[in-house]
Amino acid sequence: MRRHHALVLGGAGFVGSHLCDRLLARGDTVYCFDNLETGRLENIAHLDDHERFVFVRGDVVVPFQFPVDRIYNLACPASPPRYQVDPVKTTLTSVLGTLNALRLGARSGARVFFASTSEVYGDPEVHPQPEVYRGCVNTVGPRACYDEGKRCAESLMTDFARQHGVEIRIARIFNTYGPRMDPADGRIVSNFITQALCSEDLTVYGDGTQTRSFCYVDDLIDGIVALMDHPTFSEPVNLGNPDEFTVLALADLVRELTRSECGLVFGPLPEDDPKLRRPVVDRARDLIGFRPKVKLREGLERTIEYFEAQLEAELSGSGRRLFGQRHRPGRRAATGT
């Protein structure tokens, strides 16, 4: 197999750091470019001495140059509380970051991958969501900075392919979880596990009947790498695990697996929070043989193990204070079970 020189934008983040590992393991040289806004040096610390790994701190909104033939653009905060901190920056990160990646692709002939999202479908009226569904996004809501930034980036990707002949690959990623998620970033899996490990009640937003389909990170990385390696396909491809769970079902599973006695505390459903989400993955299956293998129970066990180790390190004073800094949502009615 040909060895590539790859640039991973957002490579110190949760998904990006796993992608760096996978590319290095197959022999690629990896440049990891990240402003550490939501990423962490801990995620790539094990690569410090790797001879084919280079970390450069910087921001994708400013043009960049690297000697590469593959560009993976994952730079963007992914958790709603995080991407809503500075919504203007979030939009610019997606749009300008993708523009700069594509300009480098046009100059160098590098193939460009873009990490798009199930959020392009908004609060969907079609369930489950195939790639041909065009979505239902509120352009002026609190999630718009993320959703519309990603939608604009998809359109830039496609126009650079049409207008400038850049080779592109677009994945629409559905909720992904696993080790190296930031315990402080406010997403459901990290919130529930950290809360359970700290014997706090789990924060359920709304009535907990909304659904998500959770994909273990290793399965997602299989999909990203296979899609990037596909010789021609340039249209968007859903990547995710089609097994669908309610928020309440996830809460029960986390409580069982952590053997936690914690209850549930209900808070308001955030504005525009999608009520249902499940990918149709036929396109990915037919195109690249994508078949997620890791069941939620098994993936959660591995993720809980990771968070337990983080918590232990923090309690022993050898780890950074991550649990203590985590996102604490406002609480409304306490209804422990």
Residues identified as active-site: 146
The one of ligand NAD, ligand UDP, none whose footprint includes residue 76, by CB under 5 to 8 A per kind, is: ligand NAD
Eight-class DSSP state of 120: G
Cβ proximity to ligand UDP, 99 vs 202, nearer residue: 202
* Residue of the chain from 20, 166, 170, 188 that contacts ligand UDP (CB under 6 A): 188
The one of ligand UDP, ligand NAD, none whose footprint includes residue 204, by CB under 5 to 8 A per kind, is: ligand UDP
Listed residue (288, 30, 78, 298) closest to 176, CA to CA: 78
248's CB contacts (< 8 A; 6+ apart) are 204, 208, 209, 264
User: Where does this chain touch ligand UDP (CB under 6 A) — which range of 94-102, 153-161, 204-212, 235-243?
Assistant: 204-212
Return the number of other C-beta atoms located less than 10 Å from residue 320's C-beta: 13
In order of 238, 280, 306, the CA distances from 132 in angstroms are 10, 10, 37
User: Where does this chain touch ligand UDP (CB under 6 A) — which range of 186-194, 226-234, 235-243, 301-309?
Assistant: 186-194
Number of residues that bind ligand UDP (CB under 6 A): 15
* Residue of the chain from 205, 226, 233, 246 that contacts ligand UDP (CB under 6 A): 205
Can you tell me which residue has the tokens 């500075």? 86
Report the nearest approach of ligand NAD to the CB of residue 170 (Å). 11
Can you tell me which residue has the tokens 């509380």? 81
Report the nearest approach of ligand NAD to the CB of residue 97 (Å). 6
What the block records as the tokens of 282 is 């036929």
Q: Is 210 in the site for ligand UDP (CB under 6 A)?
A: yes
**CA distance linking residue 263 with residue 261, whole number of Å:** 7
H runs (alpha helix) in 58-130: 80-83, 87-108
Question: Per-residue string for binding with ligand UDP, 260-299, x by CB under 6 A?
Answer: ----------x--x--------------------------
Report the nearest approach of ligand UDP to the CB of residue 201 (Å). 11
Listed residue (71, 6, 75, 92) closest to 36, CA to CA: 75
Contact criterion met (CB below 8 Å) for 241 and 175? no
Listed residue (62, 3, 64, 54) closest to 32, CA to CA: 54
The one of ligand UDP, ligand NAD, none whose footprint includes residue 253, by CB under 5 to 8 A per kind, is: none
Report the nearest approach of ligand UDP to the CB of residue 47 (Å). 27
User: Where does this chain touch ligand UDP (CB under 6 A) — which range of 156-164, 185-193, 220-228, 288-296?
Assistant: 185-193
Indicate the pairing of strand 264-267 with strand 333-334: antiparallel
* Residue of the chain from 13, 80, 124, 178 that contacts ligand UDP (CB under 6 A): 80
H runs (alpha helix) in the chain: 14-25, 80-83, 87-108, 144-164, 188-197, 217-229, 247-257, 282-288, 296-315
**CA distance linking residue 311 with residue 185, whole number of Å:** 15
Query: How deeply is 329 buried, as exposed, middle or buried, from its count of CB atoms within 10 A (0-12, 13-18, 19+)?
Result: middle
Q: Which residues bind ligand NAD (CB under 6 A)?
A: 10, 12-16, 34-39, 59-61, 74-78, 93, 97, 115, 117, 173, 175-176
Cβ proximity to ligand UDP, 273 vs 314, nearer residue: 273
Q: Is 212 in the site for ligand UDP (CB under 6 A)?
A: yes
Q: Which stretches of the chain bind ligand UDP, using CB under 6 A?
A: 79-80, 175, 187-188, 191, 203-205, 210, 212, 247, 270, 273, 329
